[in-house]
Structure 1
Amino acid sequence: MTAHQQTTVAALENQAFALMGRLHVILRRQSGRITDIEYMRADPAYCRHVLQLALQTPAEDAHRICEKLQEIYFGNEGLFVRNPPKAPLAARFGSAAAAAKISHAPGDNTTSRLPDEDVDRAYIGRLR
């Protein structure tokens, strides 16, 4: 991918993020629906679902935003057409967390826990 194409993709992603933010606010005000912008950017099926929900609202702004997002993501040179979507953040960090887990043999009393005073300072494992 050339530098110009990368710039174009970055500009489209920024425009899409801004439009999804506006759509999120409209859906929240009109129907009380809360959408996940990050997941909408990563999952084409969820993106289509949110766009369908927005088209059911009476807000004309939502309809115009849906048309723009439809073109940005699903048009001939759309982001979902051009490149496969990136994995959601939770999936990217979930695999790293699973790889970092340490398994102990049964009867092994060694642990990798912090001392109790460190746990208190780090707010790990408790509610405030």
Structure 2
Amino acid sequence: MNDEHHTRAALENQAFALMGRLHVTLRRQTGRVTDIEYMRIDPGYCRYLLKMASLSPIEDLQDLSVKLQEIFFGPQGLFVVAEPKPSLMARLTEPAPAASAPASSTQTEIGDPVDRGYIGRLR
């Protein structure tokens, strides 16, 4: 399972680097602005951008599209293979989330580093 996690992490790193190049090339060549994070999590948006890049006359965009297509939608692609679940032992050692009481917006604690007056306003 550990090898699966490392392989997935390596694919995600490679995808991130290629998506950055795709974003920069699309911006410079076509003026198109993309959202890399959304591309990473939404298969529909990812397919749309890859299709657009593959139809471009710019060879670099076509190459990036082919590489990202394989990373995301190939037989061992990030959108194809489910993310491995942590082992039972790892889940047992994680602390349970603690329920917290809602904080009052008018009450400030001594030593609170956040100036509540700035929240919701331009600085």
CA RMSD of superposed structures (Å): 2.6
Is 1:124 aligned to residue 106 of structure 2?
A: no
Structure 2: gaps (5+ residues)? 84-99, 108-114
Cα distance between partner residues in 2 of 1:46 and 1:9: 21
Cα distance between partner residues in 2 of 1:76 and 1:32: 32
Letter in 2 for 1:23: L
**Runs of 4+, deviation exceeding 6 Å:** none
The structural deviation recorded for 1:55 is 2.0
Cα distance between partner residues in 2 of 1:21 and 1:114: 43
Structure 1: gaps (5+ residues)? 85-99, 103-110
The structural deviation recorded for 1:81 is 0.6
Letter in 1 for 2:17: A
Map Cα deviations across residues 8-65 of structure 1 (whole Å, 9 max, x no partner). 1111110000000000001101111111111101010000011112123222111101
Q: Is 1:30–1:57's contact at 8 Å kept on the other side of the alignment?
A: no
Written as runs of structure 1 = structure 2, the 5 A alignment for 1:33-44 is: 33-44=32-43
Letter in 2 for 1:25: V
Aligned to 1:112: 104
Q: Normalising to structure 1: TM-score of the pair? A: 0.70
Is 1:65 aligned to residue 64 of structure 2?
A: yes
Q: SS at the partner of 1:80?
A: coil
Q: Is 1:31–1:57's contact at 8 Å kept on the other side of the alignment?
A: no
The answer to which structure has the higher helix fraction is 1
Aligned to 1:7: 6
Q: SS at the partner of 1:45?
A: helix
Q: Is 2:54–2:66's contact at 8 Å kept on the other side of the alignment?
A: no
